[in-house]
Amino acid sequence: MEVKTFFDSVTFTLTYIVYDSKTKDGVIIDSVLNYDPNSGKITTKSVDEAMEFINSEDIKIHYILDSHAHADHLTGSQKLKEKIPNAKTGIGANITKVQELFKGFFNLKDLKTDGSQFDMLLEDDQELQAGSVKIKVLNTPGHTPACLSFLIEDMVFVGDAIFMPDFGTGRCDFPAGSAEDLYESVTKKLYTLPDETQVFVGHDYMTGGRGLKYMSTIVDEKTENIQLKANTSKEDFINFRTTRDKKLAQPRLLLPSIQVNILAGKKPEAEDNGVSYLKLPITE
């Protein structure tokens, strides 16, 4: 099994194409749609780079998967689906909870909160067959209630649950996020995988000025993760995570990202002038 990695340096996001080099079956995980908040302009640089590789290697993409409704970048899933119409989009079934939360927050009166914007709503322990590529879905909530990890052979793609050991774990202060849930997800779902399992993270912030890293192992995380080791107590982690999250700034692209990502990467419906708009709540 091969993994092609793409890094968006603006949002520090990692996109993965996982494919069988013999059969050319594959999936794409956590794609990026480029967005400039100053101009409101969307571009497809990251999608185009992924498609160039897919076409050059003649890969048949079966699934376009998101580990969760991202709060720091727009998903490229819909733009990819336009180019690969037979591929199915997929996200955790608990996306409906996220949709319900943000329907009220943004006053999106017409938003369907049944997850029907996605082709597949994925459940814990569900198995997907992308030709010769077998994917097991792991429900790993905490960062958001809809977070998933994807287990493919001896590799697990963890989204924002954990990062490289020198950075720690995902934050848990988004609506319906839970430090307790994240602790359970990491210790009971991820840290129970074989030690040699390769861990592919959803972001890398190049801690301390080091170069880009995006792959560790379960044993590395269990023994070296600076925020959540295998022997870290639940109480200690919850206290640490809750205290730290109170000091973190809101992600720069949170408001635009969520509005697009709960729609599976579609733009909000155009108004009578043919233009789509994103909402920006004013708070005092």
Look at the domain 2-158+194-216 and name its fold. Metallo-beta-lactamase; Chain A (3.60.15)
Average pLDDT of the chain is 97
What pLDDT band is residue 241 in, cutting at 50, 70 and 90?
Answer: very high
Residue pLDDT, tens place only, 138-186: 999 999 999 999 999 999 999 999 999 999 999 999 989 999 999 999 9
pLDDT at position 50 is: 99
pLDDT at position 284 is: 86
Residue pLDDT, tens place only, 242-258: 999 999 999 999 999 99
Structure tokens at 113: 């909160």
- pLDDT, average across residues 183-203: 99
Range list of H helices, the chain: 45-56, 77-83, 95-105, 179-184, 218-224, 234-245, 254-261
φ, ψ (nearest 5 deg) of residue 60: -95, 105
Helix/strand/coil (H, E, C) string of 41-82? Answer: EEECHHHHHHHHHHHHCCCEEEEEECCCCCCCCECCHHHHHH
Residue pLDDT, tens place only, 18-71: 999 999 999 999 999 999 999 999 999 999 999 999 999 999 999 999 999 999
239 φ/ψ sector (left φ>0, alpha ψ -120 to 50, else beta): alpha
Residue pLDDT, tens place only, 91-128: 999 999 999 999 999 999 999 999 999 999 999 999 99
Furthest-apart CA atoms within the chain: distance in Å? 57
For the chain, which residues make up each domain, given as ranges?
A: 2-158+194-216
pLDDT at position 204 is: 98
Q: Is 261 helix (H, G, I), strand (E, B) or coil?
A: helix
